[in-house]
């Protein structure tokens, strides 16, 4: 029988065992929690200049639950590169595991930013606060238009004017000035808020300049910009990226000159005002240029031409401040007694540091039918002078050409006078004996008749084959369709889809692509050119679309009206088929 004292001893021993077990579980839990939370974060320096890269470093002294998700870092920083390493070391006989994640980043803006905790699966890093300051130097002067002003390297930009006309030329310049060596350098392309604006690089140059007694190496790039919409236009910043102070390789492990510091420079955005075309100017006649000329050349002397022989007339449109594709075609009036055959226009752009000069060469072959004097009417082209802000007209004066001779004479020959009638030549007399001999020979050789009949039939058969041969060649050309009907329907479907959405810009683009194929004219580049092919019903709706795109006021274009008329529009091949039938 167990006494009360023994029972108490047993209870005390059991309680102590439970207590020890509980403490062991608690200590194990706390040790695991402490190991899971041992993630640190640091930066290579703080604060940091806006245009300087730095390192954001995460370290863990034990295995983490999962790979980290660095998505929160991208909100205020650009990650240029990242690396991961694992190290193990022995301390007092125990092995210590250390994992490192190294991110090379660069800030997007100035200010104080907090990188939130980064998730490593169930494990989480602490947050870190980083200060970004503007790049500045006390011994440098800020050139106008630059974003940051380090003494040894900076960007500057400029524009030739802050206000201009729609579709006219603006010249934008960006320069990188430096006194240090660079490697792996890149400069982003120019972009604007107008997706339809024509942007073209016109020059690139390297030279030296002196600023405040300091000599700089300069890399300069110029662009020509042709805005297609009126209103405010923003030229987005250009970004330089490269390694600065890159010198000779410091070791055998740095043979690719990656020793320099990664730096990023941003230019300032530039806002310009785009004025609409004056209300008194027809949009089809809108040609804003600083200078426009018409130049004429002839292949032969126009005062000594021959009837039936061709002569080539060349007219060149030269416009400073416009591209060749912006220049229009020239109309040529019919001239009685003279045939005209215009050739396809040749377009060329010649850029220089001041901008682009566009050229359009038009050649016309002229064939006078008969002798006489022909008057070619005056050639006129209206344009807008961006220097004087006035409407002007370029002219080629009327040309007089003289034609002599005749290609073919339809006048019957003059009758001969009596004294000019030639005297018939007296033939020698033929005797009856000679006639008899000839009759005998003819009758004795009847095969000559069969030979004559044979050659006559052969000649007739040759004529039949001759006239049938070109017909057989031309027949497939008549029945072969010039374009694919399915392709035209697909492009028409794009027009209808964008018109239903009331998307004026995409409707215009789809309509131009459809017109090129439907009308068989690959030179169609704008809505105005479609009017000379389309039906009279569709023409006013195309004009409304064009006015909505270039209007000074914001208008909500309704595509349903155009859609109703466009559905009835037929391609050129179908129109010709209906007319022939």
Lowest mean pLDDT among 178-187, 503-512, 568-577: 568-577
pLDDT > 90 fraction of the chain, expressed in percent and rounded? 31
What's the predicted TM-score (pTM) here?
A: 0.54
Parallel, antiparallel, or unpaired for β 261-266 and 270-275? unpaired
- The predicted pLDDT at position 564 comes to 83
**Mean pLDDT over the full length of the chain:** 77
Q: What are phi and psi of 220, to 5 degrees?
A: -120, 140
* pLDDT category of residue 164 using cuts at 50, 70 and 90: very high
pLDDT of amino acid 282: 87
Does position 550 have pLDDT exceeding 90, yes or no?
Answer: no
Q: What is the mean pLDDT of residues 66-92?
A: 83
Percent of the chain with pLDDT over 70: 73
**pLDDT surpasses 60 at 166:** yes
Asked whether the predicted pLDDT for residue 311 surpasses 80, the reply is: yes
pLDDT of residue 575: 55
Q: Which residue has the higher pLDDT, 573 or 432?
A: 573
Q: Please tell me the number of Cα atoms within 13 Å of 433 on its side-chain side.
A: 0
Mean pLDDT of the 344-364 span: 93
Q: Residue 178 class from Cβ within 10 Å (0-12 exposed, 13-18 middle, 19+ buried)? A: buried
Backbone angles phi, psi at 580, to 5 degrees: -70, -35
pLDDT score for 31: 46
Query: What pLDDT, on the 0 to 100 scale, is given for residue 317?
Result: 95
CB contact set of 542 (below 8 Å; sequence gap of 6+)? 511, 527, 530, 531, 534, 562
Most confident range, picked from 146-155, 382-391, 425-434, 523-532: 382-391
Query: Three-state SS string across 201-222, please?
Result: EEEEEEEEEEECCEEEEEEEEE
Residue environment code for 30-61, b if the CB has 16+ CB neighbours within 10 A, otherwise e = eeeeeebeebebebeeeebbbbbbbebebbbe
Query: Mean of the pLDDT values across residues 499-516?
Result: 87
Average pLDDT over residues 240-252: 64
pLDDT digits (tens, 9 = 90+) for 194-231: 999 999 999 998 888 888 888 889 999 999 999 999 99
Lowest mean pLDDT among 49-58, 477-486, 566-575: 477-486
How would you list the strands of the sheet with 261-266, edge to edge? Answer: 182-187, 239-244, 261-266
Q: To which residue do tokens 């004429």 refer?
A: 296
- Better-scored residue on pLDDT, 579 or 134: 134
Statement: residue 431 has pLDDT above 60:
no
What is residue 444's predicted lDDT score, i.e. its pLDDT?
Answer: 44
578 pLDDT tier (thresholds 50, 70, 90): low
pLDDT at 231: 95
Label residue 385 by pLDDT band (50, 70, 90): very high
Q: What is the pLDDT of residue 10?
A: 53
Reported as a pLDDT band with limits 50, 70 and 90, residue 19 is low
Higher pLDDT, 137 or 339: 339
At residue 482, the pLDDT reads 46
> Does residue 386 have a cis peptide bond before it, meaning omega lies within 30 degrees of 0?
no
Question: Where does the pLDDT of residue 259 fall: very low under 50, low under 70, confident under 90, or very high at 90 and above?
Answer: low
Per-residue pLDDT at 419: 42
Higher-confidence residue of 454 and 389: namely 389
pLDDT at position 433, please?
Answer: 40
Q: Residue 121: which pLDDT band, with cuts at 50, 70 and 90?
A: confident
pLDDT band at 91 (very low <50, low <70, confident <90, very high): low
Rounded distance, CA 342 to CA 362, Å? 7
Reported confidence tier of residue 451, pLDDT bands at 50, 70, 90: low
- Please, which pLDDT band fits residue 497 given cuts at 50, 70 and 90? confident
Kindly report which listed range (66-75, 155-164, 255-264, 462-471) carries the lowest average pLDDT score.
Answer: 462-471
- Tell me: pLDDT of 530 over 70: yes
pLDDT recorded at residue 437: 41
What's the CA gap between 133 and 49, in Å, rounded?
5
Least confident of 94-98, 195-199, 340-344, 387-391: 94-98
């Amino acid at each position: 029988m167990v006494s009360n004292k023994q029972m108490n001893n047993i209870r005390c021993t059991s309680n102590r065992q439970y207590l020890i077990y509980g403490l062991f579980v608690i200590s194990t839990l706390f040790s695991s929690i402490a190991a899971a939370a041992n993630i640190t974060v640091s930066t290579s320096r703080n604060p940091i200049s806006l245009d300087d890269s730095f390192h954001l470093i995460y370290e863990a002294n034990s295995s983490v639950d999962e790979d980290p998700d660095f998505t929160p870092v991208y909100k205020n920083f650009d990650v240029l590169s990242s690396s991961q390493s694992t190290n193990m070391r022995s301390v007092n006989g125990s092995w210590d595991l250390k994992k490192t994640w190294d991110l090379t980043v660069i800030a997007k803006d100035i200010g104080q930013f907090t990188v939130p905790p980064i998730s490593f699966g169930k494990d989480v890093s602490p947050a870190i606060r980083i200060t970004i300051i503007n790049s500045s130097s006390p011994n440098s002067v800020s050139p106008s238009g630059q974003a940051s002003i380090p003494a040894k390297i900076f960007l500057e930009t400029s524009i030739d004017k802050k206000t201009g006309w729609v579709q006219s030329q603006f010249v934008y310049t960006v320069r990188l000035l430096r006194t240090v060596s660079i490697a792996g350098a890149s400069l982003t392309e120019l972009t604007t808020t107008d997706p339809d604006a024509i942007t073209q690089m016109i020059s690139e140059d390297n030279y030296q300049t002196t600023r405040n007694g300091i000599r700089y190496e300069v890399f300069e790039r110029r662009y020509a910009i042709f805005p297609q919409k009126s209103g405010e236009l923003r030229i987005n910043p250009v970004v330089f990226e490269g390694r600065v102070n890159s010198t000779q390789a410091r070791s055998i492990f740095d043979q690719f000159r990656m020793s320099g510091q990664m730096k990023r420079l941003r230019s300032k955005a530039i806002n310009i005002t785009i004025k609409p075309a004056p209300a008194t100017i027809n949009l089809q006649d809108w040609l804003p240029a600083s200078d426009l000329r018409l130049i004429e050349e002839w292949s032969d002397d126009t005062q000594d031409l021959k009837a039936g022989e061709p002569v080539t007339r060349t007219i060149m449109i030269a416009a400073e401040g416009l591209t060749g594709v912006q220049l229009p075609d020239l109309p040529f009036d019919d001239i009685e007694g003279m045939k005209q055959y215009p050739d396809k226009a040749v377009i060329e752009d010649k850029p220089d540091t001041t901008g682009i000069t566009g050229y359009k060469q038009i050649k016309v072959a002229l064939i006078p039918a008969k002798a006489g004097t022909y008057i070619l009417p005056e050639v006129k082209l209206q344009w807008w002078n961006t220097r004087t802000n006035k409407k002007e007209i370029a002219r080629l004066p009327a040309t007089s050409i003289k034609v002599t001779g005749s290609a073919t004479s339809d006048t019957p020959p003059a009758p001969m006078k009596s004294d000019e009638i030639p005297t018939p030549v007296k033939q020698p007399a033929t005797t009856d004996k000679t006639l008899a001999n000839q009759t005998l020979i003819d009758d004795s050789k009847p095969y000559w008749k069969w030979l004559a009949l044979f050659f006559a039939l052969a000649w007739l058969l040759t004529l039949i084959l001759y006239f049938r041969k070109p017909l057989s060649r031309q027949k497939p050309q008549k029945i072969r369709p010039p374009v694919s009907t399915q392709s035209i329907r697909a492009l028409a479907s794009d027009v209808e889809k964008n018109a239903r959405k009331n998307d004026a810009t995409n409707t215009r683009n789809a309509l131009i692509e459809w017109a090129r194929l439907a009308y068989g004219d690959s030179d169609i580049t704008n809505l105005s050119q479609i009017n000379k092919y389309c039906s009279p019903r569709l023409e006013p709706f195309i004009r409304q679309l064009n006015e909505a795109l270039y209007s000074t006021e914001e208008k909500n274009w309704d595509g349903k009206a155009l859609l109703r008329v466009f559905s009835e529009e037929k391609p050129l091949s179908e129109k010709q088929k209906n007319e022939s039938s």
